[in-house]
Amino acid sequence: MPPEAQRTLLEQHLFPLLDAVLPEKRESVVTVASQLKTSLVGKPVLDYEAKQAEINSLLRELEIDSKCSCLKKERSKRDQLLEEMISSLTDWMNDIWSVVYEYHVEFALAHNCLMLAAETIETMIKTNPG
């Protein structure tokens, strides 16, 4: 949920609910919420859109490189670009693993991120055999 939507949910719906409960219950809810927030400190951010943009950019560079190196007989940056993509995906997979198995959150987002990683690897294999 975007930060602004989170703030709106809290201010318009959850805070009024807290005001309506007994003070002991309110303290209990606030304590549990604080513990949850503390337990998520350090959790990696899985920014699907940013990673997708990065991957698409690298794939475009790879495509351009393959066309230019053939036409101009220049030295290809193919290996360097593939290495950068693999490194980026490896780091991201570590973050996905951490979010799911260490923090036990964002399962649907992690699934989408894994699908993007798999699709990217499949594209890399299809467009760059050998």
Q: Rounded to the nearest 5 degrees, what angle is found at the Cα of 73, between the Cα atoms of 71 and 76?
A: 100
CA–CA gap between residue 12 and residue 9 (Å, rounded): 6
Angle between helices 48-72 and 78-97 (to 10 degrees): 170
> Could you read off the pLDDT of 3-59 as tens digits, one per residue?
788 788 878 888 888 888 778 887 888 888 888 778 788 899 999 999 999 999 999
Q: What is the pTM of this model?
A: 0.73
> Is the separation of the CB atoms in 57 and 87 below 8 Å?
no
Q: Taking residues 83-95, what's their average pLDDT? A: 96
The pLDDT value given to residue 119: 96
The CA-based dihedral angle spanning residues 64, 70, 75, 79, taken in that order and rounded to the nearest 10 degrees: 60
